[in-house]
Amino acid sequence: MLAKNDIKVGLDIGSSQIHVIVSERDDDYNLHRIGEGTGPSAGLRRGVIVDMDSAAAAISDAVAHAEEMSGCAAVSVLASASGAHISSLGSRGVVAIGRSDREITQEDVDRVLEAARVVAIPPDREVVHVLPREFVIDGCTGIRKPVGMTGIRLDVDANIITGSATAIQNIHRSARRIGLEVEQIILQPIAAAEAVLTSSEKEQGSLVIDMGGATTDIAVCIEGSVHHVASIPVGGSHVTNDIALVMRLPVGYSERLKLNYGSALPDAVGDDESCGTDTDISRKKLCQIIEARIHETMELVKEEVDRAGYSGQLPAGVVVTGGASVMQGVVSVAEEVLGLPARLGVPVGVYGAQEAMDNPAYATAVGLIKCVWGESAVIPAVGSEQRKSGGFASEVRQWFRDIFSS
């Protein structure tokens, strides 16, 4: 039987969908999904909150479904962030080991990471992550876990990830409006990488492409750490808009055509195929429109990887995940454009209702759960206390939903 005394929640605020997972860990340290809520996003543009009331209402609805399924009320969450405002830069930190035995402790690691955090950034930006690429002890490079080793000087080569302070704070404020506290924010591609990459892919060098509704986020993983992240303002909704514009169709109908008949491989479609028996809309034309946008998206990804200097450093290839990745042919186009082996990334590591969880759309949410339980190789464990259903937090969300439904 699963223990009920420690509940933790992941909140993936995607550009088109919001996913909430309530989880717990059993006596064998396996993670289990005990509640889940999904709903359409609102109040976001290109992954960034632009209408706090609408965003809060959408988050509240998804959280309510997860609470009802789990029988627990969320008090705090680990939340995701995305958007073109995210950027990364390299930094180094140095500290001296002053103890007589010269043994490096976790406190020394924390100090050197804090030293690396001190970088010159504009006042409108905020540090989201400080991710170590490697540690150096007295000139010895390539060290991954310095705790317990001895030395006089400890250096770190770190990846500093920053974002718009306004965008980050708006996530906190939207959650607080419905009685939730955001303990930590994790970038979507980093969380997705935790959910879909194997240990060997993280070590050898791989690229995660997380395709959402309005953005495509990437993470470069080498030697077990995230070396680079970026967000490209193109996603699945742009494919839908292309179909609507070129074929002069309503957006809602275009979305249904994309989901039911879409493919990024038009050459595999017959010239006389139509989108259903009751329409004369050419499926081949539909797929040609899709291929053009997916090909352009992968070209933009390749340009970013080349610009950042990681071309030729990804022998483990590409893992494509996210809600927009499941369309037929997307992985094939990624493989062709990037010139690397590619596969579809399905989240692993959390049990429960596998027919729903074995879906790339849940990659970020599953990654958040792994991070909050301390099973991430690059993100520190986060303490999180939840409580049973009922109480003030649940009442606040019910009051909030009543306002917006009236």
Domains of the chain: 8-84+166-189+364-405 (3.30.420.40), 87-163 (3.30.1490.110)
Strands (E) in 165-290, as ranges, are 181-187, 206-211, 216-222, 225-232
pLDDT tens column, 259-278: 999 999 999 999 999 998 77
CB-based contact 181:101 (threshold 8 Å): no
The neighbour count for residue 362, using CB atoms within 10 Å, is: 28
How far is residue 384's CA from residue 403's CA, in Å, rounded to a whole number? 29
| Position 3 confidence tier, pLDDT thresholds 50, 70, 90 | very low
- What pLDDT sits at residue 402? 52
What is the 8-class DSSP label of residue 319?
Answer: E
Range 345-370 average pLDDT: 85
**pLDDT exceeds cutoff 70 at 387:** no
The amino acid at 268: A
pTM listed for this prediction: 0.88
Mean pLDDT of 61-65: 94
Average of per-residue pLDDT across 67-77: 90
Q: Is the pLDDT of residue 84 over 90?
A: no
Instruction: For the chain, report the end-to-end CA distance as a whole number of angstroms.
Output: 41
CA distance 345 to 358: 9
> Mean pLDDT in the chain?
88
pLDDT of residue 353: 63
Structure tokens at 357: 């969880």
- Other beta carbons within 10 angstroms of residue 2's beta carbon come to 11
341: buried, middle or exposed (CB in 10 Å: 19+, 13-18, 0-12)? middle
Q: Which range (115-119, 176-180, 354-358) has the least confidence?
A: 354-358
* Residue 311: partners with Cβ closer than 8 Å, 6 or more residues away: 305
Q: Smallest Cα–Cα separation from 340: which of 311, 304, 360?
A: 311
pLDDT for residue 377: 63
Which pLDDT value is given to residue 356? 60
pLDDT score, position 374: 80
**CA count, 13 A, side-chain hemisphere, 37:** 24
pLDDT digits (tens, 9 = 90+) for 310-357: 999 999 999 999 999 999 999 999 999 999 999 999 998 888 766 666
Q: Is 398 helix (H, G, I), strand (E, B) or coil?
A: helix
